């Protein structure tokens, strides 16, 4: 029934999201997992230790980070499976692992900020969803950053968790979310986390492989249905540029989105004052992106997300009828 849980969680989350009152009352699973990661980082990642020791402890930390939440989730799902509404309740819990609604809202806030408040408001809005130095971005840079974040987070925040929910139920989704959160916190190539976070970064790359490719295909298919989008160019750009990205996964949805919109995304950008020299996704495309391009990207995202829901709906029907 994992496929059905995944489908129901998509349908519920796109309508309800994660209510602000609930976040204020109990927080969010990501914040709970984040506390565990921070605790392990403080206790196991010691600067005085050698890189070899820190790499071993990083593996230990990864196992704890993934297995502890997954075991708890498995126990909860097993307990709920014994009651009449257990499937629905499990799906409702699984919605906390998805970000369909909030992703669209945050990206739309960037376009609204630029249109209604100017560049400074747009920078402030985009700083909520990207890790780069937003204060240094010009207007096209803000727009490109928002579109890149939309493409990448469609994969990491929607397609990947629902894929792993479909594979392993609530426990599969929680395990994915734990690993992905760990990568965002300790998977960076910094002096503190280069060794300790190595296993986490490699594991996150591995578990995002299927979702990143599926996300790119969904964007290409959505481009066939959205007026003004170029599906043929999305396909060509994805095949040509995705592998040039420094990430083995982020390039796929970004390249597909760039090709569909005729933009050049990614490229050199600054993180914490350090320039990252990355290849352009959509080389030769337009770099002077505008807020209208963010809204076009949101149309593509919504259609691609509808296709994702339809895919899991079809799979659910097949599973039920088998």
Instruction: Quote the pTM value.
Output: 0.94
φ and ψ at 275, to 5 degrees?
A: -75, 135
Q: Which residues of the chain have a pLDDT value below 50?
A: none
Supply the pLDDT for residue 5.
97
Supply the pLDDT for residue 235.
98
Supply the pLDDT for residue 131.
79
Contact 273, 249 (CB under 8 A): no
Determine the Cα–Cα distance for residues 171 and 192; give it in Å rounded to an integer.
30
Supply the pLDDT for residue 272.
64
Supply the pLDDT for residue 277.
76
- How open is the CA angle 281-286-291, to the nearest 5 degrees? 100
Torsion of CA 186, 188, 191, 197, to 10 degrees: 50
Q: How far is CA 170 from CA 1, 76, 161, 162, 246, in A?
A: 11, 9, 10, 10, 31
Contact 132, 272 (CB under 8 A): no
Supply the pLDDT for residue 271.
67
Residue-wise pLDDT tens digits, 20-37: 777 777 788 999 999 999
Supply the pLDDT for residue 273.
61
Residue-wise pLDDT tens digits, 92-112: 999 999 999 999 999 999 999
Q: Give 112-153 as a DSSP string.
A: HHHHHH-HHHHHHHHTTT--S-GGG--HHHHHHHHHHHHHHH
The structure tokens listed for 169 are 């139920």
Q: How far is CA 309 from CA 76, 172, 258, in A?
A: 25, 18, 23
Helices (H), the chain: 2-16, 20-26, 29-44, 51-80, 86-94, 100-117, 119-126, 139-154, 160-186, 198-207, 209-225, 231-241, 251-261, 291-321
Contact 9, 314 (CB under 8 A): no
Determine the Cα–Cα distance for residues 132 and 141; give it in Å rounded to an integer.
11
């Amino acid at each position: 029934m994992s496929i059905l849980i995944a489908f129901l969680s998509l349908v519920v989350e796109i309508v309800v999201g994660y209510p602000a009152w609930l976040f204020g009352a109990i927080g969010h699973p990501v914040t709970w997992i984040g506390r565990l990661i921070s605790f392990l980082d403080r206790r196991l990642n010691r600067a005085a230790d050698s890189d070899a020791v820190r790499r071993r402890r990083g593996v230990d930390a990864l196992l704890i980070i993934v297995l502890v939440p997954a075991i708890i989730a498995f126990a909860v799902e097993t307990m709920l499976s014994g009651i009449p509404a257990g499937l629905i309740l499990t799906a409702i819990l699984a919605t906390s692992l998805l970000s369909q609604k909030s992703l669209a809202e945050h990206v739309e806030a960037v376009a609204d900020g630029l249109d209604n408040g100017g560049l400074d408001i747009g920078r402030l809005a985009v700083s909520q969803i990207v890790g780069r130095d937003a204060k240094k971005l010009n207007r096209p840079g803000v727009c490109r950053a928002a579109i890149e974040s939309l493409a990448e987070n469609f994969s990491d925040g929607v397609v990947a968790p629902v894929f792993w929910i479909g594979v392993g139920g609530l426990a599969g989704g929680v395990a994915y979310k734990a690993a992905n959160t760990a990568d965002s916190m300790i998977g960076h190539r910094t002096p503190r986390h280069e060794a300790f976070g190595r296993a986490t970064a490699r594991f996150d790359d591995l578990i995002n492989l299927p979702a990143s490719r599926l996300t790119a295909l969904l964007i290409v298919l959505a481009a066939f249905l959205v007026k003004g989008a170029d599906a043929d160019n999305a396909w060509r750009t994805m095949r040509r540029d995705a592998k040039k990205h420094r990430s083995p996964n982020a390039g796929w949805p970004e390249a597909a989105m760039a090709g569909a919109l005729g933009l050049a995304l990614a490229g050199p950008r600054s993180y914490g004052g350090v320039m990252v020299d990355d290849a352009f996704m959509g080389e030769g495309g337009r770099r002077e992106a505008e807020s209208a391009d963010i809204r076009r990207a949101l149309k593509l995202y919504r259609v691609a997300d509808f296709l994702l829901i339809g895919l899991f709906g079809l799979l659910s029907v097949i599973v039920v009828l088998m």
